[in-house]
Amino acid sequence: MSIAHLALYLLPTLLLPLNAAAQIVARGNGPEPSTLDPHRCQEVACGNIVRDLYEGLVAEDASGQLIPGAAESWTRSEDGLTWEFRLRPGLRWSNGEPLDAPQFAASLRRALAPQTAAPMAALLRPIANAAAVSAGAMPPERLGVSAPDVSTLRITLDEPVALTDRLLLPIAFPVYLPALAQFGTQHTRPGHLVGNGAYVLQTWTPQASLELARNAQFHAVATVAIERVRFVVTEDAASELKRFQAGDLHITETVPPKTLTALRAQFGQQLRISPYLGSFWLGLNLTRPPLRENPALREALVLALDREILTRHVTGLGEQPAWSIVPPGTRDHRLPATSASNWPREQREAAARERYAAAGYDRERPVTLELRYNTSTVHRKLALAVAAMWRQTLGARVVLRNEEWKVFVQNRRARVITQVFRGGWIADINDPLDFLATFSGRDNPLNTTGFADATFDALLQRAAALPSGDARRDLIAAAEAHLLAAHAVVPIYFYTSKHLVDPRLRGFEPNPLDHHASRWLRWDHAAAAPPR
């Protein structure tokens, strides 16, 4: 065989697809994760990885249903205030050390300690004394968690919330405290990080990728099919798409803003779009003129928008038009009946003009509004369309203001110069209160509209004190109706999650929080390779 021949044979092996090693999955994961400390993790990018590295008392299956996690069973007291979790026998950390209930309790105390400064601490507020502990007014030992024996964890609450939903959050995951004591903030490095999830951290190259390997100590390791997972930093959706097309990625974090039809034509069943517990709205600053004490004008703004056109032609990725705040499919929630959503266009626009006139404006004396959004192509497109609709239907003059992200966020929170602004919320837990609570309390930093209403706040408080069920659902419905009647926001659409998934990959199932733990994935080697 000549050297030329040899080179001909060798060349293809050198240029083989990079993920040819069968049991590896490469996932696009958006920006660099801010941290791998579960108690400090706030954004989607770290959440995806942390859910592979750690496991809480409870877990989610591929479709998002609650299943036992580190606890094999649990009981809730009659009043819903005391929960007892029975840990699985023989639980171990990834380094082989036993994991018991006192360690779970210590972890929760650390999560809520003031020094941890956990951004999501408010979601564990229902645990007894949590507020005082995280404010530093009480020592962490006073937190309502205890371990009566090595395999039982008892959590006492101040409010009978659905605790298991909150225990799915990374802030409730156990952290291996000896590593924290030894390495400080570096306890999340490969080699230092000790977890109890389905995977362990192997490598972490900031701004490039993280590689995880199956954790032999995981209690359900026999059911975990994928041996290695690579989370890849993909900041640019267009580049991510190309890497998927090239076969370097098997799952993408998102898709670039193209129309649904174009993406469908190109990717067919590889494109996975499903409802996501997120809501997009335009906030109205109720503390400043002209929107303050002007419900008629606010209602006119709500009525004048054609959400079908906005979602089909402007955002275009299967978003569902919204006339309310809480997305459909949220637990303890029913979609409020908003009559305007079914009106034909003429009726809706006539009603909008009628309200506009009632507010004291017409085409000769139009209102001038500032519509503020953070710099992004998608937001700009939407703002342009909204401004055009308000101008056409009402004759309103809309000035578009785009701002750099941090400036925008600060202005929105300060409520001093804003009028109409981009708003929205992505749920952390499957609970309508997660959405509605952003409108309660004037001093709440999340309350960007300045909506302050005692009735609304009282309804939310009563709902928070009830366990899941019809009574709670009714209170939540009343609260949402109250908020909508005040027209504090202009609902636009409910979000969808958008991914490209290799057709040979199984176990990637749609779920409302868009959580896709790698332990549920597996390769179907019989399936056809993606068409190129």
Single out the segment in contact with another protein by CB under 8 A; choices: 262-270, 323-331, 405-413, 499-507.
405-413
**337 sits near another protein (criterion: CB under 8 A):** no
Alpha-carbon distances of 457 from 95, 129, 198, 334, 451, rounded to whole Å: 47, 22, 41, 19, 10
| Subset of 129-158 contacting another protein (CB under 8 A) | 134-136
Minimum distance of another protein from residue 296's CB (angstroms): 30
Q: Which is nearer to another protein, 96 or 206 (CB)?
A: 206
Asked if 504 interacts with another protein (CB under 8 A), we say no
Q: CA 321 to CA 305: how far, in whole Å?
A: 11
Q: According to CB under 8 A, which residues from 442 to 481 bind another protein?
A: 445-446
Considering only residues 183 to 222 of the shown chain, the ones binding another protein according to CB under 8 A are 185-186, 188-189, 205-209
Residue of the chain from 98, 242, 392, 417 that contacts another protein (CB under 8 A): 242
Rounded least distance, CB 410 to another protein, Å: 5
- In the three-class reduction of DSSP (H, G, I as helix; E, B as strand; rest coil), residue 490 is classed as strand
**Footprint (CB under 8 A) of another protein, residues 102-121:** 114-115, 117-119, 121
77 is a site residue for another protein (CB under 8 A): no
Candidates 32-40, 170-178, 256-264, 507-515; binding stretch for another protein (CB under 8 A): 32-40
Q: Are 175 and 44 in contact (CB under 8 A)?
A: no
308 Cβ partners below 8 Å, 6+ apart? 321
Residue from the set 35, 151, 202, 274 that interacts with another protein by CB under 8 A: 35
CB-side exposure of 233: number of CA atoms within 13 Å? 11
Per-residue x/- mask for another protein, residues 409 to 448, rule CB under 8 A? Answer: xxx-x-------------------------------xx--
Q: What is the DSSP string of 104-139?
A: HHHHHHHHHSGGG--TTGGGGTTBTTHHHHHTTSS-
Q: Measured between alpha carbons, how far is residue 124 from residues 101, 175, 512 in Å?
A: 18, 16, 21
Told to check if 235 binds another protein by CB under 8 A, we report yes
8 vs 18, beta carbon nearer another protein: 18
- The long-range contacts involving 124-132, CB below 8 angstroms and separated by at least 24 positions, are 124/166, 124/169, 124/171, 124/172, 126/157, 126/158, 126/159, 126/161, 126/163, 126/166, 126/464, 127/155, 127/156, 127/157, 127/158, 128/156, 128/157, 128/158, 129/158, 130/158
256 binds another protein (CB under 8 A): no
Q: Give the Cβ contact number of residue 196 at 10 Å.
A: 27
Least distance CB 395 / another protein (angstroms): 33
Query: At its nearest, how many Å lie between another protein and the CB of residue 500?
Result: 13
Q: From the DSSP assignment, how many helices (H) and strands (E) are in the chain?
A: 16, 18
Which residues contribute to the site for another protein (CB under 8 A)? 14-15, 17-18, 32, 34-37, 40, 42, 114-115, 117-119, 121-122, 134-136, 185-186, 188-189, 205-209, 232-236, 238-239, 242-243, 245-248, 404-407, 409-411, 413, 445-446
